[in-house]
Amino acid sequence: MLDKIKQLSAEIAGFQAKSLEEVEQFRIKHLSKKGTIAALFDDFKTVPADQKKAMGQELNELKNTALAKINELKELLSNAEEDLSGIDLTMPGDPLKLGTRHPLAIVKNEILAIFNKLGFTISEGPEIEDDWHNFSALNFPEEHPARDMQDTFFISKNPDIVLHTHTSSVQVRDMEAHRPPIRLVTPGRVFRNEAISARAHCIFHQIEALYIDENVSFADLKQTLTYFAKELFGPDTQIRLRPSYFPFTEPSAEMDVSCTLCHGKGCNVCKGTGWLEILGCGMVDPNVLELNGIDKEKYTGFALGMGIERITMLKYGIKDIRLSKTTSVSLNSFRPQANNI
């Protein structure tokens, strides 16, 4: 009989239930009037007198164990059912919050898509450059301020290794590797030793374009700029070109677009002029072609470059460039400044 008690005790201790119905079946099996424990109490009558005390204690402990197990399972399953009460399990779950693209990435992709329509291919290169690719091959004179340490981040001197100050260095590598016609756009990060403020940063993003072929003229450059401005800022956008200077282009110009806020009437953003400066451009200097092994008598070309942060700030009304360097910036933080943007 003692073996039966131990066997039944182990069965009760290891029992698990998934529903209250299973618990009730377990109770009936062991604690009802015809259950296994009641049958053991009937057999208790045949136990010798000298063993009754010990056997009685074992039976009572078995019964108490069964009752405790049943109460424990009932409480556990009842609480689980209460947790699910009032919940429609057929309803869909809460939607996951998805991230958004950074405004700089959105504007960069828009610009690249525009130039892709014009047949330009994307080219990328290293951010660490030597003096030749960053300066000399682009017609920078030896005394140019950009070669000084107060304007450029130098990694080493003699030989000069720098963090590239423009993506024009990528264009040099392409001119070395390919012969005209060349039509490419070069996006990337650039580095300049500037004080960080609301309108300037030492690390920013730039996109430059280069087109070299036979009979490329300033008229081709102007048509490209006009198409680009209308695609990016809207069909009513106007452009103007102002004379400027860059070592690698001649003639050179700065391009302005009509203010996206006041549409040329004058406001605080455009300082009352009705125009916003967005990029520099010009015809590729013949010296640059010659330095890169391209026949300057046969080929001409144009180049242009712009800061992505500058255009993003204009497009979304961002007043501090430092906001573009945080990890929490999204389009939800800003609103486009014009309906046609």
Distance from C-alpha of 147 to C-alpha of 143, rounded to nearest angstrom: 7
pLDDT at residue 214 greater than cutoff 60:
yes
Mean pLDDT of the chain: 83
Helix axis angle for 20-31 and 52-84, nearest 10°, is 170
Question: Does 219 or 48 have the greater pLDDT score?
Answer: 219
pLDDT at residue 337 greater than cutoff 60:
no
Binned at pLDDT 50, 70 and 90, residue 30 comes out as confident
| Per-residue model confidence as pLDDT tens digits over 244-302 | 999 899 999 999 988 877 776 777 667 778 888 889 999 999 999 999 999 999 999 99
What pLDDT is attached to residue 321? 74
Domain ranges of the chain: 2-84, 103-333
| Per-residue model confidence as pLDDT tens digits over 90-134 | 778 778 888 888 888 999 999 999 999 999 999 998 999 998 888
| Mean pLDDT lowest among 72-76, 77-81, 107-111, 118-122 | 77-81
Largest CA distance in the chain: 126
Binned at pLDDT 50, 70 and 90, residue 8 comes out as confident
The whole-angstrom distance between residue 273's C-alpha and the CA centroid of its chain comes to 36
Which residues have C-beta within 8 Å of that of residue 64, sequence separation ≥ 6? Answer: none
Span 331-337, mean pLDDT? 49
Q: What is the pTM of this model?
A: 0.65
What pLDDT is attached to residue 81? 58
CATH number, span 103-333: 3.30.930.10
| Per-residue model confidence as pLDDT tens digits over 150-191 | 678 888 888 888 898 889 999 999 999 989 999 999 999 989
Q: Which helix (H) or strand (E) holds 283?
A: strand 275-284
